[in-house]
Amino acid sequence: MAEYRRRPGDRSEGRLLRSIPGFAKFIPFIMPQRNDRCIHYEESFEISDLDRRLRKLRVEGHKGIGILHFIIAAYIRAVSMLPGVNRFVVGRRIYARNNIEVVMTVKRSLSVDDTETTIKVVFEPTDTIFDVHRKMEEKIQEIKTSDENNGTEDFADACAKLPRFILRFAIAMLRVMDYFGWIPQSLLDVSPFHGSMIITDLGSLRIGPVYHHIYNFGTLPVFIAFGAKYHKYELNRHGEVEDHKYIDTKLVLDEGIVDGHYYAQLLQAFRYMFQHPEIVETPPSKVVEDVF
């Protein structure tokens, strides 16, 4: 396929979708705010096989690789098959994102008083769980070992020093700039509100997942939260008691980018990958392009 060339209406972070049905283009006008279009979904995934697989990888030298990396890798693999999941709505138009950007909040330590910040990691549809582990660890270690703020914190600190009426005006101007695609790439690169997906690992805090809102400002269409591992004792077909491990997940999804049937295919892909975790250890044989 010939290389795509930017056209009028495209944005720096994505291309305008022109061939989608008229009804899909109509949705952002009926429900202009992202929270108007939210779908809430929860599911418990069995991770018995996945847990064994991750332990094996850690023994083989991939220290620290865990469920967080698997879920991100599974999301990336799903995008390679179902690229509509990586769309975004802004300015009442629907765009296909140029890359995969995952946002996550990180605390420099587990101390209650320590500060937290956000990281944004850029992935390719061909990335495996090993690529995810490497890129995430590089970003996290960069944050934890640095005494300086990252770009997100610097921007927030600068804005917080402004008088309230100026800050309100500045935020209003940012919304206008976002609507028309005028926000500089340097700000998009540090913004925790612009990206493909945001994820939170509440299992690290030993609690269950929450339904976390997605933000009306920015472009994030997917929020994934997952909780701590737990055991369930279940009878097998022979009437014997078996120990199974599970995690609970909760997703908040923007229906403006794709319909419920498309999201159902995403969740079916997730189920399959939880049952066959080795899939994300090798690149996909094919990457599906979004429509034009």
Q: Classify residue 142: in a domain, yes or no.
A: yes
> How would you classify the pairing of strands 241-254 and 38-46?
antiparallel
pTM: 0.92
Residue type, 132: V
pLDDT for res 274: 97
> Is residue 98 a part of any domain in this protein?
yes
Instruction: Specify if 168 maps to a domain.
Output: no
Tens-of-pLDDT digits for all 292 residues of the chain?
457 788 889 999 999 999 999 999 999 999 999 999 999 999 999 999 999 999 999 999 999 999 999 999 999 999 999 999 999 999 999 999 999 999 998 876 656 566 678 899 999 999 999 999 999 999 988 877 766 666 666 777 788 888 999 999 999 999 999 999 999 998 899 899 999 999 999 998 889 999 999 999 999 999 999 999 999 999 888 889 999 999 999 999 999 999 999 999 999 999 999 999 999 999 999 999 999 9
CATH number of the domain to which 117 belongs: 3.30.559.10
Tell me the two tokens of residue 289.
């392009």
> Residue 156: what pLDDT?
77
**Residues 9 and 180: beta-carbon distance below 8 Å:** no
Establish if 5 belongs to a structural domain: no
Residue 65 lies in a domain: yes
**pLDDT of 102:** 98
160 part of a folded domain: no
For residue 36, give its domain range: 14-150+176-281
Quote the pLDDT of residue 146: 67
Reference 24, options 257, 231, 281; nearest CA is: 257
Half-sphere exposure of 191 (CA within 13 A, CB side): 20
In a domain, 292, yes or no: no
Q: Is residue 77 part of a domain?
A: yes
Number of domains in the chain: 1
